[in-house]
Amino acid sequence: MPRYMIQVRATAMSEAGDFPDDPTLVPRMMAFHDEMARAGVLLDGAGLQPSSQGFRVQYDAAGQVNIMDGPFAETKELIAGYTLIEVRSRDEALAWAQRFPAPFPGQSCCIEVRPLMGGVDLPPDDAERIIREQLATIKQGG
């Protein structure tokens, strides 16, 4: 089954280490994750500390390593949290993601959903075709 990572993109607020002033946010977020867990979909998830607490290891073309401390400037490209789900299809990932509560209510914000690479991440038709081919080969061999 394909896995998808729902990335919560950072905002100026998350980068400052502040939380939205909405008492319903945490319960809603927990209820949603609980629902995904109950549906057998949720694999993992966590919030990330601001980039000021992190660092980067930068490689130049010659393979030279350079360590850079946070914070990093491109706020909207940074990640403030992630939720890892395992679903049957892209369609199902979309259906879940559409119900993801806005992570920073009252301000413009974004979640980005990306499929993970991996051996099991095949479109169903393809998987079925491969299995059938294998079966045919085995039948010929036997």
Site residues, other proteins (CB under 8 A): 1, 34, 37-44, 84, 86, 89, 91-92, 94-96, 98-99, 118-120, 124, 127-128, 131, 134-135, 138, 141-142
92 vs 111 by CB, closer to other proteins: 92
SS (H, E, C) the chain: CCEEEEEEECCHHHHCCCCCCCCCHHHHHHHHHHHHHHCCCEEEEEECCCHHHCEEEEECCCCCEEEEECCCCCHHHCEEEEEEEECCCHHHHHHHHCCCCCCCCCCCCCEEEEECCCCCCCCHHHHHHHHHHHHHHHHHHC
**Minimum CB separation from other proteins for residue 135, in Å?**
7
User: Is 29 or 78 the residue whose CB approaches other proteins more closely?
Assistant: 29
**Residue closer to other proteins, measured from CB, 38 or 61:** 38
